[in-house]
Structure 1
């Protein structure tokens, strides 16, 4: 079970048609984060598609510090992977499937 991390949705005009620059995932818990931007003023906040493996992917901001503490069932840390689709395609697919499909 992944500890809950917040992914707060924003109503601003953040461009989410960009390619994710960073894909993070838990190798032992099914959670995935596709991050495409870091806040210029608050460097701890990244924007992207967040999926804690619970069937409710969210588009919004997440704390990088918070993510650094996440561990899965086997206590493995989050790992980095490359994403190939544009972020809006991941959003569409995740909303349809109820989880991030990468």
Structure 2
């Protein structure tokens, strides 16, 4: 599977450039929507990426290796592509992933839920019920 299409690369690079520009001008850093979701089809590991560095390999976003503590940080596209799983599987891209939520919302909900996958379920429920607040899962 091709993990990043040219369109996804362009969107990730645009987010990275916007982030760099905001830092250079001492402006508030952007809070983009995740562009792409990668997952382990044989386990719980999940990654949401918002940026791609100029090196074409270093992604930034939310990483969840399935240990109950999702965290923001950098990860390598080449490393994701090199993972070999049982039955000839590898890391895959969620072809239908789209989200109305920004990375900060995903991060807060994932940390509170203990996983990106559980947060995704809760956020999908929140989309269906506008009475559920999504900005602050802690309620304060």
Q: CA deviation at 1:87?
A: 1.2
Q: Is the helix fraction higher in 1 or 2?
A: 2
Q: Where does the alignment leave 5 or more consecutive residues of structure 1 unmatched?
A: 1-11
The Cα RMSD (Å) is: 2.2
23-32 vs 73-82, which deviates more?
73-82
Q: CA deviation at 1:83?
A: 3.6
Q: Deviations over 1:45-100 (max 9, x none)?
A: 00000001111111011011111122445552111111412211110011101111
TM-score, scaled relative to structure 2 = 0.57
Distance 1:59 1:33, change over 3 A: same
2:113 pairs with 1:97: yes
Which is higher, the Rg of structure 1 or of structure 2? 2
Alignment match of 2:38 (pick from 24, 27, 44): 24
Q: Where does the alignment leave 5 or more consecutive residues of structure 2 unmatched?
A: 1-19, 121-140
TM-score, scaled relative to structure 1 = 0.76
> Is the Cα–Cα contact under 8 Å of residues 48 and 61 in structure 1 kept in the other structure?
yes
Within a 5 Å distance, the mapping from 1:79-90 to structure 2 comes to 79-81=92-94, 82-84=97-99, 85-90=101-106
> Is the Cα–Cα contact under 8 Å of residues 16 and 88 in structure 1 kept in the other structure?
no
